[in-house]
Structure 1
C-alpha cells in the first residue's frame, strides 16, 4: 500500500500488518530483530502478527522460517492481493473520502452513527489525516465533513489517491462513457496531442473533472494562462471542446477545457525531441525557464553529442514545472513513495538537484522546501532517463563462440533478444577471425566461451570468459560491464 493511503488506515493492527507485508515482499529471510526495528513494535508483537498473517492468508502464502529469520513466499498472487485489499474494506476514512468525491457530504455525527463510533473517536481519525492533506494545501471541515482548499488541489489529491496509488476496495473507477472518451482522445485524430498520456490516466483526469463539476466545483485559472492557451492552442481546444460536448450532450466551460488540456500537456516524455521542441516554442520562452536551463547545463556539462537533446528536454521540464506552478503549486506534488524510491536509488544525484533548485528557485512565491524536494525527485528521474538514452553510446560487443552448435545458437538468441535493441552485437565466424578484423572494429567487449581465445584479443577494452554452457552469473557479469550501476 502506498504511503499516502496508509495514512488513512485507522486500525493499528491492520496498519502494522500492511507495513510487515510491504517490507517482506521485497526482502529474503529477515530476522525478527530487523522486522521489529522496521515496524517499530516489540519482537513478541511481530511474532504474533506473523502467525496471524499466516492464518489469515491461508494457502495464498507460505511463511518460511529458518535460523536467519522469516521469509514470505506468495503462492497465489491474485488471492493474496484480494485478501490484502479486504483488510481495509471497513476502514472509515476511505469511505469518507469516497463519499466526499461523489458529492455525498455528511456531518460528523452522521458518520459516527454509520461506523458505530463516537464523534470524539472520528474527530481523532480526521486529525490523523491532516498532515497528508497539508501536502496538498488542503484541510478538512470536521463538522460537515468535507475537504477545504483550492479545487485544483482537491483534484490533484484525488488523482494521486485513486490513480497513482494502489487499488483498494474503495477505489473508484471511471465509468464506460469516460472510457469511450478516452479511446477517442487516444485515437488517430488526437494521437499527437495525447500521445504522452496513458489510457487509464486520461480517463481518471476526465472522470475527476466531470464528477467534481457535476457537484458545482470548478477550477480557477490565472487570466494570463487562459490568454496564453487561447493563443497557442486555439484549434486544439476547439476540437477538444467539440468532442467532449458531443459525448456528454452538454456544454463544457472553457476554463475546464483549458485545465484538462494543460494537465495532458504536463505529461512529458523523453522519447520525442521534436514534440518537446514544439512544447518549448509555445510555453518555454519565459526568461526564468531559459536561465534555469542554461545554469543547469553548466552544472552537468553533457557530452557534445547530447547537448542539443539535453537542452530541449531540460527546458521542457522547467517549462512544465512553471506551468503547473502557475496553475497551482500543488500540481508539482508527488506521492511520498516516489521520493523514497529516488532517495534510495539516486541519493547523490537527488541531493545535488535539490541544492541546485533551492538556490535557483528561492524567492519564487509558494516554492516551499517540500515542493522543491518533489520537483527534484522527478527531475532526477528525468536526468537518469536522458543519460541512459542520449548520453551514452552503444557498446560494440563481439561473441566469439566455440563448442556445441546448438549451445552457440542459444547464446546468440539470448544476446539478440536481451541486448540487440540498443547494443551493437557481432558474431564473427571462422572467416572473420583475423587480427585485422578485430583491430578494425575496435570492440568494447569480447565475449568468448573458449579460454584459449583470451590471449589473442588483448587490444579489446574488455574480454569476458563465459562458461561453455553460460549460466545466470555469466550474463549478469556481462550486464555489469554494459551498465556500471548493476
Structure 2
C-alpha cells in the first residue's frame, strides 16, 4: 500500500475517533510524521474528499473532521480513496488480465512509465504481497504463488475496496450469486453475518474468474472428513449450480476449497432449539475419546481449566471450544491459508489482554506437544483469548486499598478501580487498627492493593501506582481469577 495512502488512512481514522479538535502535536505522535508532512497530507486529502466531508485546520486549535454521521460512513470514503490508488488499479488489472501484457504495455494502460511501474512492482513484492508469499513477475506481469493464497489476497483486496457497496466483477450477477448463498443458508438453517455473506459473494466471483482462466486450487489430501461436514451437500450443490451457470468445471479440490471458506465464514443458527441440540450433542460426543477430533478438544479443555479455574464451564462454552478446533482442523486442510490467516484484533489483544493472551499461548504450546501436526498462529491465539476471556466468571472478592494519601485520593482511586473492574470486587478503604494477618482475616479481606510494599503472609499484595496503570488493573484482575 502506498505510504501516502497509509498516512491518509491513519489520519482519517484518528480524526473520526472523536468529534473534537486534535492538536498537530497529537496527530504527529499518533501517525509518526512531522508537522509539515501532516499539513501536506491534509491538503492532498481535502482534494479527494466528497463535499459532505470537510477537514478544517486552524492555527491555535488544530484539526477537526466535519461530516454528518447519519448519512456518511468514513469507511466508505476510505474504500473509495483506496480504489483510486495506483497499486489497486494495477492489482485489479492483473486479476483480470495478468500475464497478457509486457511491462511496457501494462505501463501504458496505467498511464505511467515502465520504470515507475517496475518500482511499484518491487515495492508490492517486498511489502503487500510478501505476507501472502506471492510476487509479481516483471517481464509479463502476473501475480505468482499458491493459488489459494492468490485468492485469499484478492478477497481481502476487493473487500477493502468495496466493503460497503459496489461490485468489482463485471459480467457476473451479484444478486444471483447472493441468492445462491441464501440457498445454502436456508438448507442448513443458518444466516451468515452481512459482511461474511458479502465476502462469500466476492469469493464465489473470484473462484469463477480464476477457473475461467484455467487457474485451480490444490487442496492436499489429508485426514479431514469433508463428507461429514454440515455444509458438504449444500456447497456441492452450489458448485454444480455455478458450473451450469458459468459453463465451468469445478473439480473436487475446488469444491473442497469452497466448502472450507463457507464453513470458516461467520454465521448464526436460525433456530435456538437447534443450537441447544447441537450444544448437547457436542458435550455428549466429547466422551467418545477414541476419536481424535474429540481428544483434541478434551486435551485443550483440561489445560485451559487448569490454568483458568474461573472459566464458566457451560455447555455453550464447551461447544464453542469444539467449534474452534473443528475450524482449526479445517484450516489445516488448507495449509497455505493457515500460514497467512490474520486478525485485525491481534495487536489489541496482545496489548490489552496480555496476561490472558500469554496464558492461552502457554496452554496451546503444551497442547501442541501432543498434536504437533496441527498448525496455529497469532490469529488463532487471538480468537481463543477472546473466547476464554468472555467465559471467565470472576469470584467476588474483597480487597483493602492501602494508599499513603488523603481520603479524597483513596476514594478517587477506589472508584476508578471499581469502574474498571466491576462488581466482582469489593474495596474497603476504611482505616484499620494496624494491618496484620489477623486483622486481614478478621475483616474477610482476600487481597491487599497498596502503593507500597506490605508484609503479609496470608493474602497476596498487589502493588500499584498512586493512579493505577493498565498493568496495575490487569494485575488486580488476575487476583479475581
- Give the TM-score category using the shorter length: 0.5 to 0.7
Q: Cα offset for 1:324?
A: 0.5
> Residues of 2 paired with 1:327 and 1:248: CA distance?
25
* Structure 1 SS opposite 2:143: strand
Q: Which residue of 2 aligns with 1:208?
A: 206
Q: Which residue of 2 aligns with 1:431?
A: none
Please tell me whether residue 220 in structure 1 is matched to residue 218 in structure 2.
yes
Count how many residue pairs are aligned between Structure 1 and Structure 2.
379
Q: Which residue of 2 aligns with 1:330?
A: 337
Which of 259, 262, 266 in structure 2 is aligned with 1:261? 259
Kindly indicate whether the alpha-carbon contact (under 8 Å) linking 2:222 and 2:333 is maintained by their aligned counterparts in 1: no
Distance 1:64 1:217, change over 3 A: same
Q: Cα offset for 1:383?
A: 3.5
> Residues of 2 paired with 1:328 and 1:122: CA distance?
32
Q: Cα offset for 1:314?
A: 0.9
Which of 185, 197, 203 in structure 1 is aligned with 2:181? 185
Q: Which residue of 2 aligns with 1:309?
A: 316
> Residues of 2 paired with 1:250 and 1:353: CA distance?
45
Which of 105, 116, 122 in structure 2 is aligned with 1:121? 116
> Residues of 1 paired with 2:40 and 2:87: CA distance?
27
* Structure 1 SS opposite 2:66: strand
> Residues of 2 paired with 1:301 and 1:146: CA distance?
53
* Structure 2 SS opposite 1:132: coil
* Structure 1 SS opposite 2:63: strand
Q: Which residue of 2 aligns with 1:437?
A: none
Distance 1:86 1:69, change over 3 A: same
Q: How does 1:23-422 map to 2 (within 5 A)?
A: 23-27=14-18, 28-51=20-43, 53-54=45-46, 57=49, 60-63=53-56, 65=58, 67=60, 69-75=62-68, 78=72, 87-105=81-99, 106-130=101-125, 131-163=127-159, 167=163, 172-173=168-169, 177-187=173-183, 190-192=186-188, 195-196=191-192, 198-224=196-222, 228-230=225-227, 235-236=233-234, 238-248=236-246, 250-267=248-265, 272=275, 274-275=277-278, 285=293, 287-303=295-311, 306-331=313-338, 333-335=340-342, 337-343=344-350, 346-361=353-368, 364=372, 367=375, 372-386=377-391
Give 4+ residue runs of structure 1 displaced > 6 Å after superposition: 79-83, 168-171, 276-284
Greater shift in the superposed pair: 285-294 or 91-100 = 285-294
Structure 2 unaligned runs (5+)? 270-274, 396-422, 425-476
Kindly indicate whether the alpha-carbon contact (under 8 Å) linking 2:155 and 2:203 is maintained by their aligned counterparts in 1: yes
Q: How does 1:3-42 map to 2 (within 5 A)?
A: 7=1, 9=2, 12-27=3-18, 28-42=20-34
> Residues of 2 paired with 1:318 and 1:82: CA distance?
34
Structure 1 unaligned runs (5+)? 1-6, 394-442, 445-483
Distance 1:288 1:104, change over 3 A: same
> Residues of 2 paired with 1:341 and 1:169: CA distance?
28
Distance 1:348 1:65, change over 3 A: farther
State the Cα deviation string for residues 359-411 of structure 1 (Å, max 9, x = none): 544784694xxx62122223333344556xxx699xxxxxxxxxxxxxxxxxx
Kindly indicate whether the alpha-carbon contact (under 8 Å) linking 1:297 and 1:311 is maintained by their aligned counterparts in 2: no
Structure 1 length-normalised TM: 0.65
> Residues of 2 paired with 1:78 and 1:143: CA distance?
43
Kindly indicate whether the alpha-carbon contact (under 8 Å) linking 1:123 and 1:142 is maintained by their aligned counterparts in 2: yes
Distance 1:91 1:285, change over 3 A: same
Q: Cα offset for 1:46?
A: 2.0
Kindly indicate whether the alpha-carbon contact (under 8 Å) linking 2:162 and 2:168 is maintained by their aligned counterparts in 1: no
Q: Cα offset for 1:337?
A: 3.3
Distance 1:112 1:361, change over 3 A: farther
Q: Report the aligned-residue RMSD.
A: 4.0
State the Cα deviation string for residues 99-155 of structure 1 (Å, max 9, x = none): 222244333222233334443332222222233322222222222222222111111
